[in-house]
Each structure stands twice: as structure tokens, then as C-alpha cells.
């Protein structure tokens, strides 16, 4: 596949089921297959989908000697160490620095990132899942917490791009099949 792929960079403003892609500069190109994984821009390019994109803020804290739980998963948010950087990330729908300080007293806030999370009825109890569909030459994927599925999704999406269907493993549990 990689030998046949031409990579172009630009802001996509519209997609056609025939594989046509219009860029913001007016350029239109046609492709044998188009793979769309654009997160919060999905409805803008593909129309309504059964997904809600909810903004939240992820706060970053510093503290090499941090003590407490290695990670936090709770309805109020999540927290995890960022590798061996001495930094920790906490994502919360409602920011609560006092709550973070109570759990991890040696951490100090050093930054924040505004993020978007996917809320959808098809996500599992842990917030993991994806939805995939094909419309002509366009294959689209949207989901949440997908980093751990990266190698698998890459392989399955490549299969989808090389065929006219969608691999069964990619649509597992999808009621729209």
C-alpha cells in the first residue's frame, strides 16, 4: 500500500463519495480510497453521526517524587504518569486542582491542554470503542481511547482501503452492519 500512496497536506473542506477531496485552497483531487480519521471534525466532513464531542481540560503536573496511585480512573476524571518525565496528566470535565492535590500532594500544576472526548451510546463502560462506516470510496472511523488499538486499527483500516467492504473485526458489535 505505502508504495502507491501519495501524501498531500492541506485542510480538507469537503469529501465526495467518489473519492474526491476539496482542499481549502480550492484544489480538488480524486483518490481510489479515502480514509477519514478526523475526530471532532467528523460531522463537518461527513454529516451527522451518533457521537457527541465534549470539551474537557487536561492539566499537567510536575513532581518527580510523586507518591500515591500510579493511575486514577474515576467518574470525575482520569490521571496517569507521562512516562518517565516526572509529569502527570489529569483530565477532568470539571477542573478540581484541590482534588488532585489531595490525591497527589507532591505534584505542582505546570500546564493545561484543552481536549475533546467522544461520548456515544456505543462506547463500552470504560469509554473505549469506535464506529466505522464506508460511503462509496470513503472509509471513516471515529472513536475514543483508541491509542491502545493503534496497530490493530491500522491493519484493519488498510484492509478496508484495499477492498470494497469492511473487515468483520472492524465492525464487530456495530448494529449498523
Check residue 21 and give its pLDDT.
95
Domain-embedded: residue 80: yes
Tally of domains within the chain: 2
Domain-embedded: residue 152: yes
Q: 40 and 63 share a domain?
A: no
Check residue 175 and give its pLDDT.
44
Q: 115 and 63 share a domain?
A: yes
DSSP reduced 3-state for 55:
strand
Domain-embedded: residue 175: no
Check residue 177 and give its pLDDT.
43
Domain-embedded: residue 124: no
Q: 70 and 19 share a domain?
A: no
Check residue 30 and give its pLDDT.
93
C-alpha 61/C-alpha 111 separation (Å) is: 7
Q: 102 and 88 share a domain?
A: yes
Other CB atoms within a 10 A radius of the CB of residue 76 amount to: 13
Q: 111 and 142 share a domain?
A: no
C-alpha 166/C-alpha 5 separation (Å) is: 20
Q: 60 and 115 share a domain?
A: yes
Domain-embedded: residue 46: yes
Residue 97: CB partners within 8 Å, gap ≥ 6? 59, 109
CB 50 within 8 A of CB 175: no
Domain-embedded: residue 125: no
Domain-embedded: residue 27: yes
Beta-bridge mates of residue 58: 91, 113
Q: 16 and 33 share a domain?
A: yes
Per-residue confidence of the chain (177 residues) as pLDDT tens digits?
567 777 778 899 999 999 999 999 999 999 999 999 998 888 999 888 888 888 888 888 887 655 555 777 777 778 888 877 878 888 877 778 788 788 778 888 888 888 888 888 888 887 888 999 999 999 999 998 888 889 999 999 999 988 889 999 998 755 444
Domain-embedded: residue 177: no
Domain ranges, residue 110: 56-119
Amino acid at each position: 500500500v505505502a508504495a502507491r500512496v501519495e501524501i498531500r497536506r492541506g485542510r480538507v473542506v469537503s469529501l465526495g463519495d467518489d473519492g474526491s477531496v476539496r482542499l481549502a485552497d480550492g484544489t480538488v483531487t480524486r483518490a481510489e480510497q479515502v480514509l477519514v480519521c478526523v475526530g471532532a471534525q467528523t460531522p463537518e466532513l461527513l454529516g451527522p453521526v451518533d457521537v457527541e464531542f465534549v470539551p474537557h481540560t487536561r492539566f499537567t503536573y510536575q513532581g518527580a517524587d510523586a507518591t500515591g496511585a500510579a493511575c486514577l480512573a474515576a467518574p470525575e476524571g482520569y490521571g496517569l504518569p507521562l512516562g518517565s518525565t516526572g509529569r502527570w496528566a489529569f483530565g477532568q470535565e470539571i477542573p478540581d486542582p484541590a482534588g488532585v492535590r489531595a490525591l497527589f500532594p507532591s505534584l505542582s500544576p505546570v500546564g493545561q491542554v484543552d481536549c475533546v472526548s467522544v461520548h456515544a451510546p456505543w462506547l463500552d463502560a470504560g469509554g473505549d470503542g469506535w464506529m466505522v462506516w464506508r460511503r462509496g470510496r470513503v472509509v471513516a472511523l471515529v472513536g475514543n481511547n483508541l491509542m491502545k488499538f493503534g496497530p490493530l486499527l491500522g491493519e484493519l483500516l488498510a484492509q478496508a482501503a484495499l477492498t470494497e467492504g469492511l473487515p468483520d473485526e472492524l465492525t464487530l458489535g456495530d448494529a449498523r452492519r
